[in-house]
Amino acid sequence: MEWNDAPQLDPRAVQATSVSAQDESASSQEPQALRITAASSNPKMFTLPWELPLSQWPADLFVNLPRGISRHIVRFVHVGDEVYAMKEITRQVAEREYELLRRLRKLELPTVTPIAVVAGRRDANGEKLEAILVTKHLKFSLPYRALFARTLRPDTAERLIDALAVLMVRLHLSGFYWGDVSLSNVLFLRDADAFSAFLVDAETGDLHGSLTEGQREYDIDLARTNIIGELMDLSSGQLLPTEVDEITIGNRLVDRYHSLWSTLTDVDKFSPDEMWRIERRVNRLNELGFDVDELEMKTSEDGRRVLVRPRVVDAGYASRKLLRLTGLDVQENQARRLLNDLDAYRTSTWRQGEELEIVATDWMREVFEPTVRMIPPEFRSQIEPAQFFHEVLDHRWFMAEKVGHDVAMQDAVISYIKNVLPQYKMDKRVLAAINADADSGVVDDEYTYSQPTNHGTDIDEDDQDASVWAS
Nearest Cα to Cα of residue 437 among 137, 276, 234, 222: 234
Q: How far is CA 302 from CA 270, 274, 276, 295, in A?
A: 13, 17, 21, 21
CATH topology of domain 144-265: Transferase(Phosphotransferase); domain 1 (1.10.510)
Give pLDDT tens digits for 235-294.
887 778 788 889 999 999 999 999 989 888 887 777 777 767 777 777 777 777 776 666
The residue that leads in pLDDT, 105 or 463, is 105
Give the confidence band of 416 by pLDDT, cuts at 50, 70, 90: very high
What are the start and end residues of each CATH 3.30.200 domain in the chain?
Answer: 32-139
- Helix/strand/coil for 142: strand
Give pLDDT tens digits for 160-181.
999 999 999 999 999 999 998 9
Cα–Cα distance between 31 and 179 in angstroms, integer? 36
Give pLDDT tens digits for 289-339.
776 666 666 766 666 666 666 655 667 788 889 999 998 988 888 999 999
pLDDT score recorded for residue 88: 95
Give pLDDT tens digits for 24-47.
444 444 446 889 898 777 788 888
pLDDT at 10 over 60: no
What are the start and end residues of each CATH 1.10.510.10 domain in the chain?
Answer: 144-265
pLDDT score recorded for residue 142: 85
Burial group, residue 214, by CB count within 10 angstroms (0-12, 13-18, 19+): exposed
Give the confidence band of 9 by pLDDT, cuts at 50, 70, 90: low
CATH topology of domain 32-139: Phosphorylase Kinase; domain 1 (3.30.200)
